[in-house]
Each structure stands twice: as structure tokens, then as C-alpha cells.
Amino acid sequence: MHIPDGFVSAPINIAAAAASVAVIGYALKRTGEFLDQKKIPLLGVVAAFVFAVQMLNFPVAAGTSGHFVGAVLAAVLLGPFEAVLVMASVLVLQCLMFADGGITALGSNIFNMGMVGALVGYVAFKGLRAVLPGNKSGMLAAAAIAAWVSIVASALSCAVMLGASGRYPLELAIPAMTGVHALIGIGEGAITAAALALVTAARPDLVRALRRSGGGEGEKPAVAGAWGFATVGLGVALVLAATLSPFASGDPDGLKKTAIEESARQIAEAAKAELSRPEVSRITISANPAVAENLEKENGAPRAILAPAGADALEKIKIEKSDEMEIFAGRIEATDASGATRVREFEQQGQVWKHSPIPDYEAGPGKSNFIKAGLAGLIGTLLAFSLAFAVVNMIRGRKR
Amino acid sequence: MKHSFLDKYSDLDSAVHRIDARVKALCALGMIAAVVTTPVERVLPFAAYFAILASVFLLSGIPLRHILARLLIVAPFILLFAVIAPFVPHYSGEAGHRVGVLGLRYYPSGITMLISVTAKAMGGVLCIVALTSTTPFSELLRALERLRVPKFFLALLSFAYRYLFIFIDEFERMKRARDARSFGGKRWWHMQVLGRMVGTMFLRSFERGERVYGAMAARGFDGAFRSIRPLRIDAGDAATGAAFAALVAAAWLAL
């Protein structure tokens, strides 16, 4: 799941890195504020533990194997934000030491495996704790399921990043990644539960979950109630998101259309600039079919840009549809009276969105977008819940 | 304890190894940024990047085997991508050619994309390998500290790095003990054993963490980290860094 350099587009990388930096910054501040410097060696040593344990391969069906990740184990034993710090340091070390995961993709990797892995897993754990019996086996079951959720959520987030960057079709990436990781997640869940059982037996004082709800603290019922409410809310929201968002999506091709219009507009602007040079006698625009069509539109923006140049100026322009235009949106050739030619090429605009998993004129209407929108809704909801969780925690932390 | 594989070869001595860590870190970051942002259609800049990296590796004396082994890490991603890429249009309006199987269409831009993404992923790995194989990790951390990465996080990294070797050893010992008792642990129903190993490891690491803090506190640890070896950038380092940056920039802009 470690994404190398060059696989995720820059905007996604930057957004993920910004989110990671924000959460790590918050986690550092929180750890620094509420706890003493004792946490530094402790978290560092636990990060070393996670790194070592990630070398543990376990068998998955069909001869493949996965490795233990440990995000939920760390979150349950140390706390969610401490777990984010631990996972982030492990990922930085893996990136630097093994070149496992690219430096520019580090933000995305920390987002997927650190933040989504630890925070979504922890939210799931807390929610399940409120629903399942409060005894030890209830806690272990909650941890096991949460570990599974965390792995699948990380894989989903990773697949969406790769798909949205146009590297793999989403319809392929999402089932492939989540399918494999749904299996790997079972191993993760089993190992997390077994490890937690051992720690609970040997050092029950270390298990935060037991300590928190272990009586003595007056706020327990209120907290449990809030978590139960959050779980039910999350469940309802997820069902709604998965079933309703396909209907809610208005024009799935809107972004692609915008990209074509933007390319046509740029080409028109450039053609206008060329027209303003008196020595230019002829302009040939070759553009890929979609862009060329847009350029020729009677009422389109490109016409509006070119119109002031006058009808005789427009005579000089010839628009060709070119099937060879695969990489560029189009090319302008301006020929002078002397015969000299100036060529300018235009890249397709809207790089992130330009790619459509299945060319829309071939796939059955709406089918693929249906799945996509549902999944997008699911992921959006999960992310929104994690964010809300972080914010609520921040406020609660301040009050203390 | 033989785990120098982590920043293996960083203790060699070469012109590259002697350059200040900050200069190297900035050069590596800059080069990765250049590699990743090079437009998909252009091939020549990548040739230049790989030539630059090759000369860095030649100067540093890092064995080719090591570099190739590290490159293998991106292989799964690239292989999967190679299977899919030709059948995915990467530019809207691209016509594509009918293949005739399953209604698939072949898009030439997919190949361009594949080449570019492969070059980018490999370029990224090579930059990281060039940096970490010529810079001891502790020095890299100090360089990052000067480059304003939060100290707390770096302290965390340095502890993690320091105890990594011990835990890997301990874990290997534990696995050996398990295998010696002919348990195997090769089947899914052996998961519980693996879980207990992980749990034991956690307890050991946690208790070690507490002990380490205790020992440090007894020696006057106040949360600050100090070092007796100052980082120093001399004129040669600065010139090398500037020349490197100029080369990379030239490759990006001119080719």
C-alpha cells in the first residue's frame, strides 16, 4: 500500500500532505501539552516496535501473504493521536530507509495508513465498544473488527487516490484493493485481538480502553452514550451515503466538459494573440476531436474570444480535427507572409479529472458512475466523521 | 546485531558522503520535485536525471546490487500499472484503437503514461537511495532539524531508529524460537501465536520505553537534544549544491 513517487497527482499529494501535517502538528502539540517529555522515548520505542512487527508476514488465501500493520493496536494501547505519530514515524523511516513509498507521496501514505488507518480504526473501535458488551471479550471483538475496518479503509483511501489521479480505473482499483485487504484485514484483526488479549492479561493498566471505562470516572455513561450515538449516526450516514449519492450526482461528466472547454478557451486566446500580429497570414489549429468541436461551437466562449478580430481575420483560421492529438489538446501553426511557421502546443487542461475510467460513449449509461458515486459518498462520510472526531477531541482537549 | 541494511553504505567515505547533509537533503528533495513535475510527454529530461543520478552513484561507490534491490520495491505498483495502462485513455477525446477482446480499446497515450510513471517512481527511489546511502541517519535528522522539521517529531524518529535494530533482533529470536518448537505458524489458525508474539513485543517495547526515559531523566534529560558535532557547510559543499541544482533545473527547463 506504500505509494511510490509519480503515482498520485500533485493536487492530491499536496492536499493529503497538508492534512497529514495538520494532524501531526496537532498530535505533537497535544502530546506536548498534556503529557510530559516521557512520551518522546516511549512513542519512539513503540514506533520501533511497529516497524519491526511490520516485518511479520502472515498467510492470506491463495498463497499470498500480508503483513501486520498495527495502527489499531497502537491506537487502542496509546491513544489515537499518539498512534498517528507512531505510524507517521514508521512511514517516514520506511520511506527513507527502504525507499518504500515515495517522498512526494509521503503525505498521501501518512494520510492513508497513518491517519485513516489509526483514526478511522479508533472511531470504529470506540463505536463498537459502546455497542458490544463492555467486558474483555467485547473489547477484543471491537478491536478485531476495528482493525479490519482500518485496513479496508486505508486500502479504499489508497485506491481512491490512485483512481482519482487517473492511474488506474476506479472500478478496478477499488474492488482490487479493498478485496485483497478485506482478506488481509482478517489477519490483522486476529493478531490485534490476540496481542491485546495478552497485554490485557499481563499489564491491564496499559490498556487505555479498559482504564477509561473501568469505573471511577464519573463521565463514563455520558461518554459511552455519545459514542453509541456516534456509531448509530455513522451507520445511518454510511447507508444513506452509499444508497443515495449515486442519485445525488448531477452531471458526472461536468468536470471533463469543463476541462475541454478550458483547453478550447486557451487555444482561442492564443489564436487571437497570433491574429493580432499583422504579418500572420494563415493559422491552422489542429485539436483533438472534442476540443475542435468546442472551438467550432457557434455560441461558445472561443468564438466570443475570436469575434472582435473581425470576419476577415477569422477567415485566416482553419480548424482541423486530429485523431493524432492524444497527448496535447491541440496545436496552433501560425504562418507568416514570408512562409515562416510558428507552432504552439497546448496540453490538455484539468489533468486530475481528464481521465474517465470507461470512455463514456462506450460504457452503459451511468452504470460505472453509479458505483463510483456510491463509493465516493461512503469515503466522504468516513473522512467527514474522522474530521469531526478530531475536532471534537480538540475541543474536549482544550476544556480539560 | 547486523542490521546496517537500514542505512547501509552510509559509512563509506567518498566525495558524495562528505557533502553536508543539509545540502544533500535539499538536493534530493529538489531533484524529486523536478522528477515528479516533469510533464508526461517529455523523455529527454528523464534521461538527464538518470545520467545525473548515475554519476552521483558512481562517485559514491555504492554497489549496483544494492541500488537495484531498492528499485525492486516499486515493481508491484509498476507491474500492475503496466497491465492496465494501455487500455485506459489518459486524455479526454482520445480515440483509441479497438482491440477486439471484451470491447477493450488500446490507447497510445497509456504507453506514454506508463513510461513516464515508471521513470518518475524509479527516479524518486533512486533519489532517496542516493541520499540515505550516503548520509548516516543521525546526520540526516540533524539536517532536517536545521531545515525546521519539528524537533519533537525528529526525536521520535531518532528513538525509533535507535531501537529498531534491537527489536528486529528480538523479533527474529522469537520467530526462531517458535520455529524451533516446530510450530510453523504457516497457517491461518496459527494467528493467535503471531498475536501473542506481537503482544509480547509490545510489552517489551513499552517497558523498555519507560526504562529508557527513566535512565535519561536520571542523567538530566530536559526534553532538549544536543549534539557535539556541528554541521558545517563549506564553500565546496555550497558550490556542489548549486551546480547540482543548476544541472537539474537545466534538464527540467531545457530538454
What ipTM goes with this model? Answer: 0.79
CB within 8 A of B205, min separation 6: which ones?
A: A45, A46, A48, A49, B163, B167
Among A15-29, A336-350, A374-388, B176-190, which stretch is predicted with the lowest mean pLDDT? A374-388
Shared-domain flag, residues B241 and B119: yes
In a domain, B183, yes or no: yes
Shared-domain flag, residues B164 and B70: no
Shared-domain flag, residues B188 and B213: yes
> Sorting pLDDT into bands at 50, 70 and 90, what band is A149?
very high
Restricting to B residues 19-78, those with a Cβ less than 8 Å away from any Cβ of A are 28-29, 32-33, 35-37, 39-41, 70, 73-74, 77-78
**Can you tell me which residue has the cell 561507490?**
B61
Most confident of A52-66, B106-120, B128-142: B128-142
Q: What's the DSSP call for residue A309? A: G
Q: What's the DSSP call for residue A348? A: P
Shared-domain flag, residues B47 and B78: yes
> Sorting pLDDT into bands at 50, 70 and 90, what band is A365?
very low
**Contacting residues of B for A28, CB less than 8 Å apart:** 150, 152-153
Q: What percentage of chain B carries pLDDT values higher than 70?
A: 84
Mean pLDDT of A321-339: 69
Domain count, chain B: 2
pLDDT of residue A146: 93
Topology (CATH) of A10-251+368-399:
Arp2/3 complex 21 kDa subunit ARPC3 (1.10.1760)
**How are the residues of chain A apportioned to helix, strand and coil, as percentages rounded to the nearest 5?**
70, 10, 25
In a domain, B223, yes or no: no
Shared-domain flag, residues B113 and B158: no
Rounded to the nearest 10 degrees, how much is the dihedral formed by the CA atoms of A348, A354, A357, A359? -60
Among A4-8, A169-173, A295-299, B110-114, which stretch is predicted with the lowest mean pLDDT? A295-299
Cα A136 versus chain centre, distance: 34
In a domain, B105, yes or no: yes
For the domain covering A254-347, report its CATH number: 3.40.1260.20
Q: What percentage of chain A carries pLDDT values higher than 90?
A: 8
Whether A246 and chain B come into contact, CB under 8 Å, resolves to: no
Please provide the average confidence, as pLDDT, over all residues in chain A.
72
Whether A9 and chain B come into contact, CB under 8 Å, resolves to: no
pLDDT of residue B98: 66
Q: Are A320 and A271 in contact (CB under 8 A)?
A: no
**Contacting residues of A for B85, CB less than 8 Å apart:** 167
User: Residue B128 is nearest to which of A53, A85, A103, comparing CB atoms?
Assistant: A103
In a domain, B42, yes or no: yes
pLDDT of residue A293: 74
Shared-domain flag, residues B19 and B140: yes
Query: Which of the two residues, A258 and B78, has the higher pLDDT score?
Result: B78
Shared-domain flag, residues B139 and B154: no
In a domain, B225, yes or no: no
Interchain proximity B202–A44, CB inside 8 Å: no
Interchain proximity A46–B203, CB inside 8 Å: no
CA distance B24 to chain A (A): 13
Cα A156 versus chain centre, distance: 8
Q: How many CA atoms lie within 13 A of A142 on its CB side?
A: 23
Shared-domain flag, residues B65 and B130: yes
- Residues of the domain holding B41: 15-144+232-254
Q: Are B112 and B46 in contact (CB under 8 A)?
A: no
CB within 8 A of A151, min separation 6: which ones?
A: A69, A117, A181, A182, A184, A185, A188
**Can you tell me which residue has the cell 469575434?**
A307
pLDDT at B146 over 80: yes
Q: How far apart are CA A191 and CA A320, in angstroms?
A: 62
Shared-domain flag, residues B161 and B236: no
User: Residue A42 is nearest to which of B90, B157, B210, comparing CB atoms?
Assistant: B210
> Sorting pLDDT into bands at 50, 70 and 90, what band is B174?
confident
pLDDT of residue A270: 79
Mean pLDDT of A195-199: 90
Q: How far apart are CA B198 and CA B55, in angstroms?
A: 43
Shared-domain flag, residues B30 and B135: yes
Burial annotation A211-232 (CB, 10 A radius, 16+ → b, else e): ebbeeeeeeeeeebeebeebbe
In a domain, B240, yes or no: yes
pLDDT at B208 over 80: yes
Cα B122 versus chain centre, distance: 11
pLDDT at B184 over 80: no
Interchain proximity B198–A56, CB inside 8 Å: yes
User: Residue A195 is nearest to which of B168, B199, B212, comparing CB atoms?
Assistant: B199
pLDDT at A304 over 80: no
Q: Domain coordinates of chain A in residue numbers?
A: 10-251+368-399, 254-347
Shared-domain flag, residues B136 and B247: yes
Mean pLDDT of B117-138: 87
pLDDT of residue B93: 54
Shared-domain flag, residues B30 and B119: yes
pLDDT of residue B145: 84
pLDDT at B189 over 70: no
In a domain, B7, yes or no: no
